[in-house]
Amino acid sequence: MNKDPHQILQDLEPNKDFFVGIDSDGCAFDTMEIKHKECFCPNTILHWDLQVVSKYVRDAWDFANLYSVTRGANRFLTLIQVMDLLRDRKEVQARNANIPDITPVIKWTKIESKLGNPALEKYAAEADDPIIDQALRWSTAINESVAEMVHNIPPYPFMKESLVKLSEKADVMVVSSTPVEALQREWGENEMDQYVRVIGGQEHGSKKEHLKYAAKGKYPDNKILMIGDALGDMNAAKSNGVLFYPINPGHEEDSWERFFNESMDRFFNMDYEGDYEASLIAEFKSFLPETPPWKL
């Protein structure tokens, strides 16, 4: 990108009275399982030499990315979490497995908000650190696997119908931590890109930054809605003081049907904020545990 990614979002001017941000993986599309189980996890085992504890890598990766409060987090932050989960697990310790020290990656995530390959490539050229280079090879391999593996996955039932209806009254944006290239392919092949103003991915910064730069201050807070399937989506909304609609993991079809038939109208009628939103969030949180099952 020649233009600063944040500036692209800042330059968006309202065309409608409302703004809606929609996450992609696991929210718009049923792509979380195939991406993480067939692309992310195998490359993690391969590129970080974790073959000796592959079973426990799968447990940790699936819990962190699919079945817990950290579902949907950025891949580099999740890599750090997975290494910590492995290091702490007694079965891994019993095998004397060498869990890589990825301190350089941790340091990079603390100074960089656009946690994607372009920023990491730039940093790697300056840092000359073998762990950073390894992280870049790992992340690049994941993108290649996703490009090869993930095709022809339609949106959840009622998702596209909701998108079409939303676009009549709201400026809609994809708010995702997935690389833009993959997002453009997935939304394009389902002919959904025509209904969004911009496709925001990891190269544009965090989801919190997406909402801050694209919508905050341009629309009233109660006319901004984030739709997502992870606590990170909710936190991005709430840190900006705007509304959140949850797509419940494992109950995505029901969530989109409810949104299409009920919640969308409540949002447009200014009857969403308050007890209604709170009840949906409470239900949503019940699907996202904090403790891994092997610690129970």
Cα separation, 213 vs 207, in Å, equals: 10
Q: Which of 92, 124, 149 is the C-terminal boundary of a domain?
A: 149
User: For the residues 235-246, what does the mean pLDDT come to?
Assistant: 98
Alpha helices in 115-198 (DSSP H): 117-127, 130-149, 159-169, 180-189
Is residue 36 assigned to a domain? yes
Asked if 196 contacts 187 with a C-beta cutoff of 8 angstroms, the reply is yes
Residue 80 has pLDDT above 70, yes or no: yes
Q: Based on the domain organization, do 135 and 52 belong to the same domain? A: yes
The answer on 101 and 177 residing in a single domain is no
Is residue 120 situated within a structural domain? Answer: yes
- The answer to whether residue 293 is domain-embedded is no
Same domain flag for 215 and 177: yes
Mean pLDDT over 108-114 rounds to 92
Please check whether residue 224 lies inside any domain of the structure: yes
* Judgement on whether residues 132 and 166 belong to the same structural domain of the protein: no
**Domain end position, chosen among 125, 149, 173:** 149
Are 122 and 161 contained in the same domain?
A: no
Same domain, 124 and 186: no
Contacts of 226 (CB under 8 A, 6+ apart): 20, 21, 22, 23, 175, 207, 211, 233, 234, 236, 237, 242, 243, 244, 245
Q: Domains in the chain: how many in total?
A: 2
Single pTM value for the model = 0.82
Strands 170-175 and 198-200: parallel
* Whether residue 183 sits in one domain with residue 266: yes
Smallest CA-to-CA distance from 242 within 191, 186, 170 is with: 170
Buried b (16+ CB within 10 A) or exposed e, 17-32: ebbbbbbbbbbbbbbb
Asked if 22 and 169 sit in the same domain, the reply is yes
Q: What's the sign of the alpha-carbon dihedral 244, 115, 72, 91?
A: negative
CATH number at residue 215: 3.40.50.1000
144/278 same-domain check = no
Question: Nearest CA to 18 among 228, 140, 170?
Answer: 170
CA distance 152 to 81: 31
Is 108 a domain residue? Answer: yes
pLDDT digits (tens, 9 = 90+) for 120-165: 999 999 999 999 999 999 999 999 999 999 888 999 999 999 999 9
The mean pLDDT of 62-90, rounded to a whole number, is 95
Task: Decide: helix, strand or coil at residue 189.
Answer: helix
The C-alpha atoms of residue 296 and residue 279 are separated, in whole angstroms, by 27
- Looking at residue 202, its pLDDT comes to 84
Instruction: Indicate whether 255 pLDDT > 50.
Output: yes
Per the structure block, which two tokens stand in for 258?
């409810």
Instruction: With beta carbons less than 8 A apart as the criterion, state whether 243 and 226 touch.
Output: yes
Judge whether residue 193 has pLDDT over 60.
yes
**Domain for residue 295, yes or no?**
no
Question: How much is the average pLDDT of 266-277?
Answer: 98
Confidence of residue 2 (pLDDT cuts 50, 70, 90): low
Instruction: Please indicate, yes or no, whether residues 79 and 142 belong to a single structural domain of this protein.
Output: yes
Distance CA 115, CA 75 (A): 8
pLDDT of the residue at 1: 44
Residues 90 and 79 in one domain: yes
Mean pLDDT of all residues in 25-43: 95
Query: Which of 149, 175, 207 marks a domain boundary?
Result: 149
Radius of gyration of the chain (CA): 19
Query: Do residues 247 and 212 share a domain?
Result: yes
Domain of residue 100 covers 32-149
Q: What is the mean pLDDT of the chain?
A: 95
Q: Has residue 190 been placed in a domain? A: yes
In a domain, 296, yes or no: no
User: What is the distance between the alpha carbons of residues 181 and 179, in angstroms, rounded to a whole number?
Assistant: 6
